[in-house]
Every structure is written in C-alpha cells, then in structure tokens.
C-alpha cells in the first residue's frame, strides 16, 4: 500500500497472445498444485472443470445421445452468458466492439487456461538447467 509504487499493465494485442499467456498460467498452476494442492481456488478450478466436462461429454456423445444434449446445453448456456456480459460491457462503455471482443477474450481465457491446466496435470515438465 505504498503510493510511491507504480505499475503499468500491458494488455495483450490479440487473442493469440492472450491464449499463450493463459496457457502458461494454466499449465504452471497445475504444476504448482502438484506441490501445494491446498492452494487451489474455486475460480481457478472452474475453467479446467468446464473443459473436462466438454471433453468428456464430447467423447461420450459419440455413443450416448443424452451426452450430446448435455453438451449442447452447456455450450449454449456458456455462449449466452458470455454474449450477455459482452453486450453489457459494450453498453456500459459505449463501445460496440466490446460486444464481440469481450466474449472472445473470455472464451480464450477459459479455454486456454482450462486446457493447459488439464494438460499440466497429465504431463510432468522436464526442466533442464543449462550447462555452462
């Protein structure tokens, strides 16, 4: 709480860069949880749970009709929620581009973080130290 400390935030310039950022966050969060499993927070667990449900229902839907319906409902509800959020932000900020940009950014963050987190639980990193 020192007023002499200043920071500057640089937003990612495109969805690809945002995706890379959140992929790293998700992957390394999973690695950290290997060591400190009690540090997970609900908001960090939701994107991986969401991605796990999409992947699981996607695979199950190949064999089970109910899984197709469940997958469709989840995707529809998710889409509705992020579109409404985008429209609200667009209206509030009087910036029409937010009605598309915000939902795309939210989905990019959730899909990148969630998928990378799941990947990080499956894959152990092989950290190599450079030899001098």
Residue 84 CA to residue 49 CA, distance in Å, equals: 22
Residue 21 neighbours by CB under 8 Å, 6+ apart: 12, 112
Element (H, E) at 82: helix 65-93
Instruction: Give the pTM.
Output: 0.80
Q: Is residue 4 part of a domain?
A: no
Q: Provide the domain limits for residue 89.
A: 15-34+41-122
Q: Is residue 102 part of a domain?
A: yes
Q: Is residue 130 part of a domain?
A: no
- Tell me the per-residue pLDDT of 37-76, one tens digit each, with 9 for 90 and over: 888 888 889 999 999 999 999 999 999 999 999 999 999 9
Q: Is residue 5 part of a domain?
A: no
Where residue 125 falls (left for φ over 0; alpha for ψ -120 to 50; beta otherwise) is beta
- Tell me the per-residue pLDDT of 19-41, one tens digit each, with 9 for 90 and over: 999 999 999 999 888 888 888 88
Give the number of domains in the chain.
1
Residue 101 CA to residue 93 CA, distance in Å, equals: 13
């Amino acid at each position: 709480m020192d007023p002499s400390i200043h920071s500057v935030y640089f937003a990612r310039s495109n969805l690809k860069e945002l995706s890379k950022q959140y992929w790293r966050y998700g992957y390394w969060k999973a690695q950290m949880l290997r060591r400190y499993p009690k540090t997970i927070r609900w908001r960090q667990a939701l994107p991986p749970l969401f991605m796990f449900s999409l992947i699981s229902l996607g695979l199950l839907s190949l064999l089970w009709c109910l899984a197709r319906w469940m997958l469709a409902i989840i995707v529809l509800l998710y889409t509705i929620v992020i579109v409404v959020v985008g429209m609200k932000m667009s209206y509030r900020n009087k910036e029409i581009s937010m009605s598309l940009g915000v939902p795309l950014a939210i989905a990019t963050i959730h899909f990148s973080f969630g998928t990378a987190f799941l990947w990080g639980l499956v894959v152990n990193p092989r950290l190599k130290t450079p030899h001098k």
